[in-house]
Amino acid sequence: MAEDQLIGMIPNWLISLDLGKGRRPWRPFLYEIMLNINETITIADWELTESFIRASGPGGQNVNKVATAVELRFEAERSPNLAGPVKTRLKRLAGRRWTQDGALILQVDETRSQARNREIARERLAELIRKALVAPKRRIPTKPTLGSQRRRLAAKANRSQIKAGRGTITDTD
């Protein structure tokens, strides 16, 4: 994708973002807006919402100050990039992470770095969508072999004779 096309897709607020001291966002940040799943599927930035929350558990000095955990919300049901069967498989794979309004929510608080947690969340979403893209193979039921049918019938006949021999004992004196 040409850089001019990419800049056309970037929201104006991001282009005009000032990081202080006259700095602008560096170039690789621009390529991270869209999430590439494979060659044909790309998730647009409007489908993803990231919010940063405080991570649970022990954390030392910064535990109550820094919001390092990431909550990534993907509007899967409204996504024009995913086909219907893929959305169905994604819903089954997501389980409890799928909301009633058709969004997929991933929470990551593995590292102390907000940027790394954000990368992990995006990688997990991409991996989940890649798994949903693979259509399961249809199971073809097989017939039992002739030998296995004969062995089963022979075992039944043997068991029947054993049980028939358990009858009441009659005295013939």
| pLDDT tens-digit profile, the chain (173 residues) | 444 445 455 555 454 444 555 555 444 443 346 777 888 888 888 888 888 888 777 666 666 777 888 899 998 888 888 888 999 999 999 999 999 998 999 998 888 888 888 889 999 999 999 999 998 899 999 999 999 999 999 999 999 999 988 877 777 76
Q: Answer yes or no: is 119 within a domain.
A: yes
Domains contained in the chain, number: 1
Please report the DSSP string for the chain in residue order.
Answer: --HHHHHHHS-HHHHT---STT----HHHHHTSSEE-SSS-EE-GGGEEEEEEPPPS--GGGTTT---EEEEEE--TT-TTS-HHHHHHHHHHHGGGB-TTS-EEEEE-SSS-HHHHHHHHHHHHHHHHHHHHSPPPPP---PPPHHHHHHHHHHHHHHHHHHHTTS------
Q: State residue 161's pLDDT score.
A: 92
Q: Answer yes or no: is 22 within a domain.
A: no
Q: State residue 31's pLDDT score.
A: 39
Q: Answer yes or no: is 5 within a domain.
A: no
Q: Answer yes or no: is 151 within a domain.
A: no
**In terms of residue numbers, what domain contains 47?**
39-133
Q: State residue 1's pLDDT score.
A: 47
Q: State residue 44's pLDDT score.
A: 81
Q: Answer yes or no: is 115 within a domain.
A: yes
Q: Answer yes or no: is 114 within a domain.
A: yes
**Which pTM was predicted?**
0.61
Q: Answer yes or no: is 24 within a domain.
A: no
Domain CATH number, residue 69: 3.30.160.20
Q: Answer yes or no: is 146 within a domain.
A: no
